[in-house]
Chain A
Amino acid sequence: MRLIFQKLLNGIAIGSVYALFALGYTIVFSILRVINFAHGAVFTVGTYLTYALTGAAFGRNGQLRNASLPLELNFWLALTLGALGAGVLGVIVERLAFRPLRRRGSDPLLTLVSSLGVAIAIVNILQYLFGAENYSFGETLGSMRASVTLAGGELPVVIRTKQIVIFVVSMVMVVALTLLVNRTRTGKGLRAVAEDLTTARLLGIDTDRLIRLSFFISGVLGGIAGALIGLAGSFNYQFGVAIGLKGLAVIVLGGLGDIPGAVVGGLVIGVAEAFVPAEYNAYKDAVPFVVLLVVLLVRPQGILGRAQVQKV
């Protein structure tokens, strides 16, 4: 029982980060109906930006050998600025990889490939500038204890403080995003564009602005997710690659373009991974996709997705 509770907590902690990352995918998909493959790279850049803003130095293998910024911001301030920087990068990605093709009315598949190209370019630039070293945030939580004991006894249930922080921040961001989309005028515009881009434009909505905004929000969420995962472990220039694939599984599982669906998908996959026995750990990365396959066989629209009605 103790072990089940411990694994459940572990799964929820990592699942909440998957959810936060996948929300970035979701918000762009709900507007443009395409996957932004550069999201993983934006996530990585957000992490590097946060790291740099804390005043930490880079390693010796990149072109910016031992470089550091002449300021040492508090982690939370650095996280905020780093996430905003990632949001700006998200807008640049939209400008480079999406808008030119959208203007020409190209097949959405092409934007998928162009975003993949931008992702590869960003990742290689990161390696060129900062090397392949691993980085971590160090003691960013100040005097807080490294772990919290939830149930005592000889074999207590223990959770890392960072995991609690990650869970809380992720949930705050999910609530904030939900409020933005459902309770604000901008959110109403986003929903209108998501419903039908052409009609929204005909109604006088500045769709380009809202698309840019969706990429900005996506980048901010990616930047926050990156820094939070980096906080729990370490990161390098390929940080976003593996989680990028998992994020795809999360949004399909939860229901494409569905915000609560991304949260549920993230938590389901996180918990499923946590319950993989250690002797089968090599297959842990396959778990999201096996879960996905099973769910799609039963509910092709995902857990919370709406079934598509074909109008003739």
Chain B
Amino acid sequence: MKWSEVVGLVTRHRFLFAIGGVVGIAIIMTAVSLSLYVTSGTSRLDLSRPGYESVRKDVQDRPEETFNSDGPINKAALDEFDRLLQKRRANLNGLGDFEDTSLDDASLRLTP
């Protein structure tokens, strides 16, 4: 098939080729997005996945007080900083630390 014939074919079926091209581009973009979603590790943190409905409510999503990066360094400023840091550390202490026995043989009932 000559180049002029290819051009003629495309020109005759412009609409069909346009739809095919759009679908092809959409498939490529989706494949790239999905591969980025998986390789970047976002998929592991995505709690909107099926099966995670019951735990979604446990995600902490409240606005927190911030510390101004501009201003003097004095007792009041350091007290304010300490207060904010202590609050965040107290929150951290309440979170799981991957040290419990959930994966032990006894917990999984794999002990003879």
User: Does chain A bind chain B?
Assistant: no
Write the residues of chain B forming the contact surface with A, with a CB cutoff of 8 angstroms.
none
Write the residues of chain A forming the contact surface with B, with a CB cutoff of 8 angstroms.
none
